[in-house]
Amino acid sequence: MSVTAPPQAPAETGAALRRKEDTRLLCGQGEFLGDVYRPDLKHIAILRSPVAHARIRHIDGSGALTLPGVIGVFTGGELAAETGEFSHHLPMIPTLRQITWSVLATDKVRFVGEPVAAVVADSRYIAEDALELIEVDYEELPAVSDAEAGLDPEAPLLYEDWGDNVFLFMPGSHGDIEAAFAGADGVLQERFTHHRISGLPMEGHGALGEFDPATGRLEMYVSTQVPHTLRTVISDISGLSEAKIRVVAPDMGGGFGNKAHFMREEVLVAVLAMRVRHPVVWQQDRTENLLSGLHSRQQVHEVEVAYRDDGKILGLRANFVVDVGSPELYILGCAPAIVTTSVVPNCYDLQDYAFELRCVATNKGPMGGYRGYGQPQGIFLMERVLDLVGERLGIDPVTIRRANMIPDEPRPYVTATGSVLDTGSFGDQLTELLEAVDYDAACGARDEARTAGRLVGVGIAQMVEPTAPNIHGLAGRFGGYEMAMLTVQPDGRVNVAVGTKSQGQGHETIYAKVAAETLGISPDDVEVSDGDTAALPYGIGTWGSRSAVMGGGAVIKAAQQVRDKMAAIAAGMLEAPAEQIEASDGFFRLGEAAIPFAQIAAVAYLHTFLLPPGMDPGLSVVVGYDPGNTSPFPDERGKMNVAATYSTAAAAAVVEVEAATGVVTVQDLTIVHDCGTVIDGVLLDGQIHGAVAQAVGQTFFEEIHYDENGQPLTSTLLDYMIPTFGDAVRARIIHRETPSGLIGGFRGAGEGAIIVTPAALAAAVHDALVPLGVSITQSNLSPPRLRALLRGHSTA
C-alpha cells in the first residue's frame, strides 16, 4: 500500500519542533548517573599510577582496610585471577599487536592515571582517604612521551616482547604512485602536526552497579554511548550471561565519542558490584577525566605531493605517526588514525595515493574517539596541501580546488581508498559557499586591510565525510546496523525504543518526528526511550554520525511495518483493499471515510474479533536495519567502503591575527552543509554550532600537555582550556539537502562542522600571515603557539 504524506501533517520532516526532552532537562528533572540512587549505595575510588612507566613490585592495601567505613580494597592481580580479560577482538589484523589487559593494572603501569587499585567505602570521601593508605612499590622505568621518539631503536619499550613500540603498522597503496611522481612537474614536501586534546564531556564517565544474588542478575547504569555492546563486554569479563545483565544509559552530559569506548572502570564497577554485594558507584572526577578519559587527535604527517603546473595533484605519499598513548583501550584507539588515512583524498579526484601508518604506544593516556574521529586531521592534510601547492604555482584556493574536484558525474564515485561516494555536487556546494560569503569582496577587504598593515586572512575548506560507518573489522566486533522497537499501545499512543543513545542531541525529538510522520500521527503521541538493553535486543549505539541514518532508518522501518498492519485492519473494517488506505493526521482514510488511529489500536488489542481473519493481535515490532553497503573488512588491496552514506560540507573563515600577542579573532565563519534530508532544522543547527565551538576550542584553546617524563601538565580545567560561551564563534549555516538513497534520505549530521572548520581556520590564518611569510602546517593555533611561529619574522 502507499501512504502519501499528509498535507496537514502536524510535524513535517524539516520543520522545527520544541525538543520533547527539554522540559524535563531544563527543569532539573533529568536523571543523570549522579541522580541514580540506591539505598546502601557504596562508593568506589580508584588509585591511579602517579608514574608514567613502572613495574609494580608489590601492593599493600592492608592499611586502607583498617579505615572505618572501608568495605574492601581490591588490586589488579587479585581481580584478574577471577575475571576475564579485555582484548581488541581483531585477530584478523596481522600487523596489530595482540594484547590483553585487566580491569586494573597487574604487572606494569604505562601512564599516569592508569588504574592500579580500588577502594569501596561508605562515601567517596572515605574512599579517597583510604587510597592514601594503599602502599604501592613501583620500579620506575624510563618513559616514552613522544611517538616519534618512541620509534627510536633505543627507546624504552612499553611491551618488552614487542621489540619496538609500534602497536599497529598499516601500509596502503592505491593506484600507481610511482607513475604519478614520475609524471610530476613538481613535488611538495611538508610536515603537518596535530596536537593532543580531549573530548571533555561535561559529565565524565561513570557507572553504578547492583547485583542481585538471588536472581544472579546485574543491573548497570552507565554514562555510555554504547549500552548494548558494553553489555557484551561486561559479559565477556564478568562471566555473567548477557541474559542476566541489564545496562541502562541514563541522561548524559555529553560523550563526544569518549563514551563510545569500553572503559576499564565501567567493567570494574560490574565486577565489584558482584564481589561486595552492595550497589556501588564510581563517578570520574575531572582530574581522572583529563588523565584517562580519553585523548584524541595527536598525529604527525610527513607528506610528498606530486603536482602538475596547472595545479592538478597527481599523487600523494604520506607517512602517519600517531601517538596512541596506552593501547589498552577497547574500542581500538588506532581506529581514528585508520580513518585519517582513508579520508585523505577528500572530495578530490586523487587515485594515486600511498601511505604508511604507525600507531605508536607511548606512556600517555589512551587515545580514543572524539567527534570527527580522525577526519579533521585527514581533511586538514589535503586542504593545506591544495593551498600550499596553489601558493607555489600562483593559483588561488578556489581554482586549485575546482581543478582537482571529483566531478558531479558519475555517482557513486569510488575513492582511492574504496569509499563509495553518494554525494551531491561538490562544485555547486562550493559555489553556494562563495556566493554566501561574497568571496571576491572578502578577499578585496583583506587586501585593503593588508595594505593598512593588518593581518587579515580568508580561508576555505571542504570535506566529504563517511557517516553511519561499519567498524567491525577495524575497531572491534561491532558492526554497522541498528535496531528499533515500535509498539502502538491500545490507546493509540506509541512507544519507540532505540539502540542509539542521546548524549544531548535531542534524539527523543527526532525519533518521535520520524515515527509520527510515518504513522500519520503527532510526535506528542510518541514516547522514545533509548539506552536500555531491557527494551531492545541489541543496538550498536551512537557514534560516527549514525543515529539519524541508522536509528532513524530503523524507526521508520518499524513504523512502516506497524502502519501496514494497521492499514490492513482498517481495510478490513472499511471493506477496501489495504493499498487504498492512507494514514494521515491521526486517521486511516479511504476517501471520505476515516477511522481514528487509536480505534485501530484498540481493535488490535481489545476488539480483536474485528481483526481480519488469521491476523495476530497486537501492534509491536522489533526490526533490525542494515543498509548492507558497507565493508566489514578491507579487501585484498586494502580498500573498503566504510560508510553507509556520505555527508559533505564547505566552510569559509575570515580571521584577523594580532601579531603582538598571537590572538586570532574569527570575524566570519560560514558553513554550507549537506546531510541529506533534514529532520529538524533547529536541532541540526545545534549540532553544527556545538561542533564549531569544539573546533574553535581545539584550534585556539585546548591542548593536553605532558612533560618529557610523561607527567601530565593539564589535570584541571585551569590548565586545560576549553572555550567558554563568550569564546564560541557564531557560524552562519546554510543547508543543502541531497537525500541519500537510504531510508529517510538521511546522511550523518553530527561531525561535519568539526571536521571542516579546523582546516578553514588554518587556511584563513595562513592567508593572514602571508605578508610575514609564515606557513601554517599545525592544528594548534593558540596564542602562545602562534606567537612562537611569528617570533623572529620581520615586523612581528
Contacts with other proteins, residue ranges (CB under 8 A): 124-125, 128-129, 132, 285-287, 660-662, 701, 703, 705, 713-714, 716, 718-719, 721, 723-724, 726-727, 782-784, 787-788, 791
> Least Å distance between CB 127 and other proteins?
8
Measured between alpha carbons, how far is 244 from 432 in angstroms, rounded to an integer? 54
Residue 696's SS3 state is helix
User: What DSSP string describes 515-553?
Assistant: HHHHHTS-GGGEEEEESBTTSSS----S-TT-IIIIIHH
Q: What amino acid occupies position 662?
A: G
Distance CA 152, CA 165 (A): 9
- Shortest approach of other proteins to residue 119 CB, angstroms? 12
* Share in percent of the chain as helix, strand, coil (round to 5): 30, 25, 40
Cβ distance to other proteins smaller for residue 81 or 452: 452
Phi, psi of 775 (to 5 degrees): -105, 135
Residue closer to other proteins (CB basis): 109 or 133:
133
Residue number, 220 or 786, with CB nearest to other proteins:
786
- Give the shortest CB-140-to-other proteins separation in angstroms: 22
Q: ∠ CA 763-308-380 to the nearest 5 degrees?
A: 25
Residue 369, phi then psi, degrees to nearest 5: -80, 145
| H or E element, residue 391 | helix 375-393
CB closer to other proteins out of 552 and 723: 723
Complex with other proteins: residue 132 or 448, whichever CB lies closer: 132
Which is nearer to other proteins, 130 or 230 (by Cβ)? 130
- Minimum CB separation from other proteins for residue 713, in Å? 5
| Closer of 50 and 618 to other proteins (Cβ) | 50
Tell me how far, at minimum, the Cβ of 122 lies from other proteins, in Å. 13
Q: What are phi and psi of 459, to 5 degrees?
A: -135, 145
Nearest of 403, 423, 404, 405 to residue 413 by alpha carbon? 423
The pairing of beta strand 206-212 with beta strand 217-222: antiparallel
- Give 243 or 788: the residue with its C-beta nearer to other proteins: 788
What is the closest distance, in whole angstroms, from the C-beta atom of residue 789 to other proteins in the complex? Answer: 12
Q: d(Cα 643, Cα 631) in Å, to the nearest integer?
A: 8
Three-state SS across 581-622? Answer: CEEECCEEEECCEEEEHHHHHHHHHCCHHHCCCCCCCCCEEE
| CB 721, min distance to other proteins, A | 6
Q: How far is the CB of 197 from other proteins (least distance, A)?
A: 13
Helix, coil or strand: residue 301: strand
From CA 417, how far away is CA 438, in angstroms rounded? Answer: 35
Q: How far apart are CA 690 and CA 730, in angstroms?
A: 10
Q: Which of 720, 746 has the CB closer to other proteins? A: 720
Nearest CA to 118 among 317, 280, 236? Answer: 280
Rank residues 298 and 545 by Cβ distance to other proteins and give the closer one: 298
For other proteins, the closer CB: 287 or 399: 287
* Nearest C-alpha neighbor of 159 from the set 110, 88, 112, 94: 110
CA 385 to chain centre: 26
- C-beta atoms surrounding 698 within 10 Å: 30
Amino acid letter at 26? Answer: L
Q: How far is CA 56 from CA 52, 267, 272, 335, in A?
A: 12, 22, 22, 30
46 vs 651 by CB, closer to other proteins: 46
Q: How many CB atoms lie within 10 A of CB 239?
A: 12
Q: What is the DSSP code (8-state) at residue 406?
A: P
Considering beta carbons, is residue 43 or 174 the nearer one to other proteins? Answer: 43
Nearer to other proteins, 129 or 767 (CB): 129
| Residue 43 beta carbon to other proteins: minimum distance, rounded to whole angstroms | 10
CB of 499 to other proteins, least distance (A): 33
Residues 6 or more apart whose Cβ sits within 8 Å of residue 599 = 492
Kindly state the cell numbers that stand for 791: 617570533
Tell me the closest approach of the beta carbon of residue 117 to other proteins, in angstroms: 17
> Which residue blocks in 197-263 are alpha helix, DSSP H?
227-238
Identify how many contiguous H helices and E strands the chain contains and give both numbers. 20, 32
Choose between 757 and 782: whose C-beta lies nearer to other proteins: 782
- 166 touches 359 (CB < 8 A): yes
The CA distance from 756 to 652, in Å, is 9
Nearest CB to other proteins, comparing residues 452 and 718: 718
How far apart CA 388 and CA 518 sit, in angstroms, is 49
Which is nearest to 560 in space by CA: 486, 493, 664, 626? 486
Least spacing, CB of residue 669 vs other proteins, in Å:
18
Instruction: Tell me the CA distances in angstroms from 332 to 194, 499, 631, one per residue in order.
Output: 19, 21, 18
